[in-house]
Each structure stands twice: as C-alpha cells, then as structure tokens.
Amino acid sequence: MGRRTAALGALATLGALAGLAGAPVESATAHPSGEPFSVSQYGGLAFTPDQVRVAAAVHTEQIVTRQDRQTVDADRSGAVTDAERARYARTACADLANQFEVRVNGERLVWTVVPGDYRYEADAAGLPTAMLTCDLSAPAGLSTPATVSIANRHRLDQNGWRELTAVGSGVHIVDSPVPEHSVSDQLRAIPPPDALVLNVRTANLRIEPGAATARPPDPTVPATDGGLVAAGTTWAERRFEALATGRLTPLVVVLAVLLAVLLGAGHAALPGHGKTVLAAYLAGRRGRPRDALAIGATVTASHTGAVLLVGALISTSTAFAGDRLLAYLGVISGSLIIVVGIGMIGTAARRRAGQSHDHEHPHDHHTHTHTHAHGHSPRPGRLGLAGIGLAGGLVPSPSALVVLLASIGIGRATFGVLLVLAYGIGMAGTLTAAGLLLLALQGRIARSQGTPARLLARLRVAAPAVWPLLTPALVLVVGAGLVVRGGAGLF
C-alpha cells in the first residue's frame, strides 16, 4: 500500500505542476468524459393514450467524435459550420429512428423525426466530444390495455452505456422494468458503475389506461469512483491530455514527457499487460538481465508502432471502430503468447527426448563414486523474446491514442509522437523492472539452502516429466485468456 500511495502521490504532484505550467484548460461542460471509444445513448419514452414520444440522445467520446467529424465536415474544409451540423443532425436522427424500434401489440410504430441538435462539447481535458439529440413521435392506441416492446439497435458495434426510461400520462405502466428517471441525467453525467440500467437495449412493458398509480421512487445508487488510485490515475490522464493541446513552453514539454512516462509505467502495472507471461518465460528459460532489457525495448517499439498505426487508421477512415481494432489487437497479442508457449513445449519435448544428459564423475576420495545429473535449460531465444515484447505492447493505451490524435488535430504531430514514445518507455520500464526483480529473486532462491530451494528441488524430483511443462502451460493459459477477452469485444 505504501508503494501504491507513493506512486499516486508522484502522479498527482507532477500533474499539478503540469497544470500550473500549462495554459488554462477550457472548462468542461456538464457531461464528464468516459472511455474515449464509447458511444452512450439515452431513450426517454413518454406514453399517452394516443401517442408515444421518445427524447433520444447520443453522446460520443473523443476518438469517435474525431472519426464522425469526417462525415460532419462534408466539404472537408477543416471547419464545421452550423449548416453542416444541422445537416448531420437530420441524417443521424433519421438513422437512429430506423434503429430504435417500438412495437405496440406487435405493430411497429412509424416515427416522425424532429432533429434536435448536434453540438460539440469539451471534456475535462478540453478535448471535443459531441452530443446528438432527437425527438421521435408516433401515434399509438393505448386507450386500451397494450403490450409494448422496445429495442434500441443504434450503433450496436460500439461500446457505451444504453439507458431507457419510461413514464405515462393518462396511462400507467404496470410493473415497469425501467425507471422513470435517468441515472445519467440524460447523458449529462456518468452513471455509477453498479447502476442496473447501464446497458438496457430492450424492454417489454404492459400499459393500461387510467392515471398513473403511485410508484415508489427509483432506487438511488451511491456514486462510486473506483477508489483513490483509480480517481488519481483518471485525473492524471486528463491532465496529460490537456497538456498535449495547451500552450507549449519548455517546462510544459518536459513535464508532459515525464507525466507520459509515469502514466505508461502505471498503465503497465495494471493487470493484463504481460507481467505474468514475462515472469513465466524468464523463469522457464533461465533468462538473463539483458533478456529483460530486450523485452522492455521491444515493448516500447511495439506500443509506439501500435498507437501510430491505430491512430492513422481511425483518423483517416470512419470504417474502423477504435474499440474493435483494440479487440483485434488483443486477439493477436494472445495468439503471439500462445505461439511462444507452444515453442516452449517443443523445447521441453526435445530436451526430454535426449538433449538432457547425465554425467558420471568418479571421485577417488572417500572411496566412493558420485553421479551428477546436469539438466541444461536453454537460454531465451530471440523469437521468444520478440514475441513476449510484442504481446506486451501490441494493444495501445486509449489515453496515448487520444493524445496523439489531439496533437495531430492542432498541428503538433511531432510532439504527439514524442509523448506516445515516452508512454511506451514508461510501460517498458515497469515490465523490465518486473523481469529484473524476478531474476534477482530467482537467483537468490537458487543460491540459498532455505525452504523454497528445497521445495523446488523436491518438486523437480517428484515430477520430472511434468516440471518442464509447468511454465509453458502457464504461458498458454494467459495467452488463451487474452484471446478470449479480445474476442469478447468483437461480439
């Protein structure tokens, strides 16, 4: 806990200094930022005896907003006019109406669409997000009991919360499965993570005529921020993004680079960034300190390259959804680790077949003979080291992507690449330190005569055929887990 608090304190201190040195950040609107790839939606349904109305809103975060801008800016002038925003709002609301389906007694309603607005907002770091609002209405016969089904299929391929609310006027909803009031304040605030309405895409209602009956208030859900570390990391990331787009001075450049290194190191310290595989590989292949350094260098190169590649793809085409690209890279990363694990199994099998050998050394002293069995674990191969390094840096950090795209957008591409490189160096530093620490502990255990060394020796003797397969099996399990997790983001 002490180390975690110290690391957080360093981040907060550096971020505060950066905030004092940089230009003032544009004040954020009422809507705070979420994940940079997310598209969040709200549908507020109002029922009367003869009509259904929907107040719909769609909020896109930084990277999605940047991609959509290519469509909004129809004349490619680089500046979005009021006429272009109005034209986009009409098209986007018509698309939403086609995909927001409401059926009354099995009959689909035909919407009359009134585009509300499409406007840009600034997030907590001063980077643009966007809000689309639409009003839908349709005649409906609800003067007699009816069943209503709702299905929101708008932008299904993108992550973000989906919220539905429903109220009645002159009719009442029987045992409604959706609340009357929005926990996100109609996308003006991030709902608490444990709210039960974060991902409601469908709902079935039973509506009866008559005044709405008294209904208990919607349960309040206490807001949670993920704890001190999560809050501090999020704040530091926002300051990092703000520095990339603020006024540059030599001090701000230095602080921004240092903050990028620290954030990269903190990002790699989170679960799922290759530390388990790195440890298993180095332990199973008698790694050396220079092997850990080689993996660190590869992580820096692969993460920087991945950020530049994904940034180029999503900034030049709306056909690439950023979160899906990251999911594909997650699958590739896991597949690389599986290949490394298979290679480790092959090496163990070859050793089992005859590469390990016994030597008998007769000793004349004490009038007896000793037989020493020498098993030689191979050193890590270059392909294996490259695979572990690529896997560790192949999935880019969303924060690094946001900073790169924001820098490019204001003509600071070189500065953006420098920050991405510093972020990768921070990630590599964490992974390298983890590898060096493991090797130091491994060497200390090997030289000791204590309980850990004796226990490992007994395990090797008790299961000589299984022992060499333990670390490859761990590598395979971690790789398979990354493939499954990445694949889950594609469906």
- Reported residue count of the chain is 491
Neighbouring C-alpha atoms within 13 Å toward the C-beta of 114: 8
- What DSSP string describes 148-195? EEEEE-TTTTS-S-EEEEEEESSEEEET-SS-SS-TTTTTTSPPPTT-
DSSP β-bridge partners for residue 358: 373
Output phi, psi for 82, to 5 deg.
-60, -40
Q: What contacts 24+ positions apart, CB below 8 Å, involve 218-226? A: 218/179, 218/180, 218/181, 218/183, 221/183, 221/191, 221/192, 221/194, 221/195, 221/196, 222/192, 223/192, 224/192, 224/193, 224/194, 226/193
Q: Note the pLDDT of residue 7.
A: 38
Q: Note the pLDDT of residue 56.
A: 95
CA distance 303 to 155: 29
Q: Note the pLDDT of residue 225.
A: 44
Beta carbons of 50 and 78 less than 8 angstroms apart: no
Q: Note the pLDDT of residue 393.
A: 78
Q: Is 175 exposed, middle or buried (0-12, 13-18, 19+ CB in 10 A)?
A: exposed
**How many other C-beta atoms are found inside a 10 Å radius of the C-beta of residue 361?**
8
Q: Which amino acid is present at 168?
A: G
SS3 275: helix
Helix residue spans in 181-288 (DSSP H): 227-245, 250-269, 275-284
pTM exceeding 0.75:
no
Q: Note the pLDDT of residue 234.
A: 60
Q: Which 8-state DSSP code applies to residue 213? A: P
Strands 202-209 and 146-152: antiparallel
Q: Note the pLDDT of residue 205.
A: 94
Q: Note the pLDDT of residue 19.
A: 35
Q: Which 8-state DSSP code applies to residue 210? A: S
Sign of the dihedral through C-alpha 437, 440, 443, 448: negative
Output phi, psi for 381, to 5 deg.
-80, 160
Query: Strand locations in 334-485, DSSP E?
Result: 357-363, 368-374
Beta carbons of 49 and 171 less than 8 angstroms apart: yes
SS3 31: coil
Beta carbons of 293 and 388 less than 8 angstroms apart: no
Output phi, psi for 224, to 5 deg.
-125, 145
Q: Note the pLDDT of residue 35.
A: 75
- Record the tokens describing residue 200, joined without a space: 């409601």
Q: Note the pLDDT of residue 455.
A: 58
Give the strands of the sheet with 171-174, arranged side by side.
Answer: 107-108, 100-104, 146-152, 202-209, 171-174
pLDDT along the chain (491 residues), means of 10: 38 35 34 69 94 95 87 86 93 95 95 91 75 95 94 88 91 90 83 67 91 52 45 60 68 84 80 62 66 80 86 76 80 86 78 56 47 46 74 80 78 84 86 78 64 57 59 79 79 66
| C-alpha closest to that of 487 among 273, 272, 332 | 332
**Residue written as token pair 């069943």:** 147
- Record the tokens describing residue 132, joined without a space: 């689309």
The three-point CA angle 430-435-440 to 5° equals 125
Beta carbons of 412 and 253 less than 8 angstroms apart: no
Q: Which 8-state DSSP code applies to residue 352? A: I
SS3 376: coil
CA distance 65 to 131: 9
Q: Note the pLDDT of residue 210.
A: 80
Q: Note the pLDDT of residue 417.
A: 87
